[in-house]
């Protein structure tokens, strides 16, 4: 959307297609990158505070800049970011230097490409793909390559174990996530994110908003399967066996420090945003207002979308500080023997529901 | 604009494909394959096949490439394997290459190509769905049966007990 608009706009000014293309991509890419950085900074602060409140602590506090990190610790993430940027970037002597240096950026590309298709509101979306839902699922798998690359090139047994666990976990949980996201596709009859969100306008019996999650019992179940699988795909607790600090030091990130490690962090939080955005667009009505027929303008759309996504990210943090980590075999058991059968049953159920009730 | 991006993608695909073949380290070949596959995805996009492009990423990058890398990681130490035989049979190889290129060129020259209008189709997924579920339902189901058989066979072979 934004890219197409910019290319069209540039073509009205003059005939310089290559320059217009590069400019359009850069102009829509830079805000996206800034958004990614901002998202990580806010999310790190929120994570510190949420974890603190859940453990009955107060988290980062302080008055004014200097040794203390701002009011209510608001400058804490700024301090964190500066620390990460000026930290020494160590590269192990026995590592595979080229792959070691490249890995963070492959992971970053995976997260960044996903963000490009997130529909913030009816017009604010970098690219509006015909196959948007499938696209987000697909670029998520580029990150796995980066994780495996990071784990292998570190030449360290903990990193390698972490990478292998991560690859096994992400490949496995892609299946229930993919099977569950098929359900909004079946309901709306499209893979285009904007059309899918428009399908969810209006209300059910005048009370509930007409979101896909409220449409029938199967879609209700499918949302939870998708969301839990999405949490597993972002490698977060209780599914964080790839970095399990009590067994694997820090898993595939063990040898990384400084800026490269910061890129991992940026990508993790961007991934959280992307999967939450996909869950919101597919099941929770995207930028549609929760009160049918009210607060429907584009500005409110952005607001509702962000509120829903932030709520889902908060849920992920809540999970992290509530549930203990799953063991490897439990993780695979949950995926293959519980989620995949339920997800398949859901597809069948939604198909029957659509045939009979409509 | 389209030309510029097209040649960029072609360059990426061919360049990384040469790396896949030329690299002495097996792992580098596997990772170079990532860029080749992404380049092919770009070519699909140029053919207006958006669905096929995404399937390419899911299946080849997300599935097959990861399995290849997994296999290399489990069998290989970071100090790469020594390739003892570096002979590539240059003389015979170049003859085979020339014959092959000549054959391909002849085929490309002789085939009566059907040219279609270079315009964006309204819906690719809908057409694919109709073709798969109505026109080619039987081959589709047979293919899925074959895959199911392969899955069961793989599970049976990899189990040690009973």
pLDDT confidence of residue A66: 55
Whether residue B84 is contained in a domain is answered as no
Determine contact: A93 vs chain B, CB below 8 A. no
Cβ–Cβ gap B66/A145 under 8 Å: yes
Any idea which residue has 């793909």 for tokens?
Answer: A129
Closest CB to B66: pick one of A20, A130, A171: A171
CB A230 within 8 A of CB A178: no
The per-residue pLDDT for A62 is 66
ipTM comes to: 0.77
pLDDT for A69: 54
Question: pLDDT confidence of B104, banded at 50, 70, 90?
Answer: very high
- Residue A118 has a pLDDT of 87
Residue of B nearest to A159 (CA): B73
* Helical pair A157-188 and A340-356, crossing angle rounded to 10 deg: 10
Nearest Cα to A238, choosing from A160, A343, A331, A340? A331
Q: Structure tokens of B114? A: 């059907």
A114 near A174, Cβ under 8 Å? no
Q: Are residues B69 and B141 in the same domain?
A: no
Q: Using 50 as the pLDDT threshold, list the residues of chain A that sit under it.
A: none
**Is A192 in contact with A169 (CB distance < 8 Å)?**
no
Which chain A residues in 112-151 lie under 8 Å from chain B, judged by CB atoms?
129-131, 134-135, 137-142, 144-145, 148-149
Report which of residues A23 and B94 the model is more confident about: B94
Average pLDDT, chain B: 83
Residue at B41 is within a domain: yes
Residue of A117, A130, A174 to mutate for B, most B C-beta atoms under 10 A: A130
Q: Which parts of A127-257 fold into alpha helices (H)?
A: 132-153, 157-188, 193-199, 217-233, 245-248
Distance from the B104 Cα atom to the nearest Cα atom in chain A, whole angstroms: 33
Task: Give the CA-trace dihedral at A78, A84, A86, A92, to 10 degrees.
Answer: 180
Q: B1 touching A, CB under 8 A?
A: yes
From chain A, pick out residues whose CB is under 8 angstroms from the CB of B1.
7, 17-18, 20-21
| B147 band by pLDDT with thresholds 50, 70 and 90 | very high
Tell me the pTM. Answer: 0.84
Q: How many CA atoms lie within 13 A of A118 on its CB side?
A: 26
Query: What pLDDT score does B142 carry?
Result: 93
What pLDDT is stored for residue B100 in this prediction?
94
Q: What is the pLDDT of residue B103?
A: 94
How confident is the model over B20-51, as pLDDT tens digits? Answer: 888 777 778 888 888 899 899 888 888 888 88
What is the pLDDT, as a whole number, of residue A248?
74
> B21: domain range?
1-78
Residue among A98, A131, A139 whose CB faces B50 most closely: A131
A208 three-state secondary structure: strand
pLDDT of residue A218: 86
Beta partners for A203? A209
Q: Give the per-residue pLDDT at A252.
A: 79
N-term to C-term CA, chain B: 61
Least CB–CB distance from A148: residue in B28, B54, B69: B69
Residue B74 lies in a domain: yes
* pLDDT for A75: 75
pLDDT given for residue B85 in this prediction: 65
* Closest chain A residue to the Cα of B3, Cα to Cα: A18
Interior/surface letters A4-32, b for 16+ CB within 10 angstroms, e for the rest: eebbeebeeeeeebeebbeebeeebbeee
Task: Note the Cα A284 to chain centre separation in Å.
Answer: 15
Tokens of A273: 């945003």
Q: Would you call B70 an interface residue with chain A, using a CB distance cutoff of 8 Å?
A: yes
* B63/A171 touch (CB, cutoff 8 Å), yes or no: yes
Q: Is A91 on the interface with B (CB under 8 A)?
A: no
B69: contact with A, CB 8 A cutoff: yes
Residue from the list A99, A163, A167 with its beta carbon closest to the beta carbon of B31? A99
Contacts of A145 in chain B (CB under 8 A): 31, 34, 61, 65-66, 69
Structure tokens at A142: 């580029």
**Encoding tokens for residue A101?**
């240096």
Higher-confidence position of A255 and B83: A255
What local confidence, expressed as pLDDT, does residue B121 receive? 73
Q: Do A138 and B65 touch (CB under 8 A)?
A: no
Considering the domain architecture, whether residues B73 and B11 belong to the same structural domain is answered as yes
Distances in Å between the Cα of A200 and the Cα atoms of A195, A208, A276, A285 are: 9, 11, 17, 5
Using the structure block, give the residue that is written with the tokens 């070519």.
Answer: B43
Q: A141: which chain B residues are within 8 Å (Cβ-Cβ)?
A: 57-58, 61-63, 66
Compare CB distances from A142 to B51, B55, B61 and report the shortest one's residue.
B61
Decide if B114 is inside a domain: no
Please tell me whether residues B72 and B142 are part of one structural domain. no
Provide the token pair at A234: 């972002």
Q: B72 and B127: one domain?
A: no
Mutation site, B26, B31, B68, interface A, largest A CB count within 10 A:
B31
Whether B156 is covered by a domain: the verdict is: yes
Which helix (H) or strand (E) covers residue A203, if one does?
strand A203-204
Q: Specify the number of domains making up chain B.
A: 2
What pLDDT, on a 0 to 100 scale, did the predictor assign at position A85? 83
Q: For chain B, what percent of residues have pLDDT higher than 70?
A: 90
Indicate the angle between helix axes A97-115 and B26-46, nearest 10 degrees: 30
Contacts 24+ apart (CB under 8 A), A328-333: A328/A165, A328/A241, A331/A169, A331/A172, A331/A232, A331/A239, A331/A241, A332/A168, A332/A172
- Let me know if residue B101 belongs to a domain: no
pLDDT on residue B138:
92
Is B1 within 8 Å of A17 (Cβ atoms)?
Answer: yes
Cβ-Cβ pairs closer than 8 A, A with B, add up to 85
Q: Check: CB of residue A288 under 8 Å from CB of residue A211.
A: yes
Using the predicted structure, report yes or no on whether residue B77 has a pLDDT greater than 70. no
Instruction: Please name the residue of chain A whose CA is at the shortest distance from the CA of residue B70.
Output: A164
Helix, coil or strand: residue A216: coil
């Amino acid at each position: 959307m934004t890219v197409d608009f910019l290319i069209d706009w540039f073509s009205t000014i003059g005939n310089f297609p290559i320059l217009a293309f590069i400019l359009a991509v850069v102009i829509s890419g830079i805000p996206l990158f800034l958004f990614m950085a901002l998202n990580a900074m806010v999310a790190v602060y929120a994570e510190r505070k949420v974890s603190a409140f859940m453990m009955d602590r107060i988290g980062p506090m302080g008055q004014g800049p200097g040794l203390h990190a701002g009011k209510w610790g608001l400058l804490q993430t700024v301090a964190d970011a500066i620390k990460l940027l000026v930290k020494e970037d160590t590269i192990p002597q026995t590592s595979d230097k080229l792959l070691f240096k490249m890995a963070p950026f492959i992971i970053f590309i995976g997260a960044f490409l996903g963000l490009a298709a997130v529909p913030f509101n009816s017009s604010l979306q970098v690219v509006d793909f015909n196959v948007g839902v499938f696209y987000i699922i697909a670029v998520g798998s580029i990150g796995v390559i980066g994780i495996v690359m990071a784990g292998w090139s570190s030449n360290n047994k903990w990193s390698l174990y972490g990478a292998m666990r991560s690859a096994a976990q992400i490949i496995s949980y892609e299946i229930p996530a993919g099977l569950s996201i098929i359900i909004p596709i079946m309901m709306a009859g499209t893979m285009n994110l904007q059309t899918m969100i428009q399908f969810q306008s209006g209300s059910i019996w005048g009370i509930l908003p007409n979101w896909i999650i409220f449409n029938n019992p199967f879609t209700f179940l499918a949302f939870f399967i998708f969301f839990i699988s999405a949490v597993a795909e972002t490698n977060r607790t209780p599914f964080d066996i790839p970095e399990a600090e009590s067994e694997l030091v820090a898993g595939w990130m063990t040898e990384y420090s400084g800026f490269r490690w910061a890129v991992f962090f940026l990508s993790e939080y961007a991934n959280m945003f992307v999967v939450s955005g996909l869950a919101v667009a597919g099941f929770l009505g995207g930028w549609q207002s929760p009160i049918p027929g009210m607060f429907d303008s584009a500005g409110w759309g952005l607001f509702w979308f962000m509120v829903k996504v932030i709520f889902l990210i908060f849920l992920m943090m809540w999970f992290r500080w509530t549930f203990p980590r799953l063991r490897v075999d439990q993780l695979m058991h949950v995926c293959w023997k519980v989620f995949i059968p339920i997800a398949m049953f859901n597809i069948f159920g939604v198909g029957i529901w659509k045939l009979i009730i409509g | 604009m389209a030309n510029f991006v097209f040649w960029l993608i072609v360059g990426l695909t061919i360049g990384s494909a040469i790396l896949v073949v030329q690299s002495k380290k097996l792992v580098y070949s596997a990772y170079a394959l990532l860029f080749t596959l992404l380049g092919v995805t770009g070519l699909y996009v140029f053919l207006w096949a958006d669905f096929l492009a995404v399937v390419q990423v899911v299946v080849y990058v997300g599935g097959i490439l990861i399995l290849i890398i997994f296999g290399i990681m489990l069998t290989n130490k970071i100090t790469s394997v020594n390739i003892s035989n570096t002979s590539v049979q240059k003389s015979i190889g170049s003859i085979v290459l020339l014959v092959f290129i000549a054959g391909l060129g002849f085929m490309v020259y002789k085939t009566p190509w059907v040219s279609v209008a270079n315009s964006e189709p309204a819906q690719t997924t809908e057409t694919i769905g109709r073709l798969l579920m109505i026109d080619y339902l039987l081959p589709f189901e047979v293919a899925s049966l074959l895959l199911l058989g392969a899955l069961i066979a793989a599970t049976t072979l990899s189990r040690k007990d009973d």
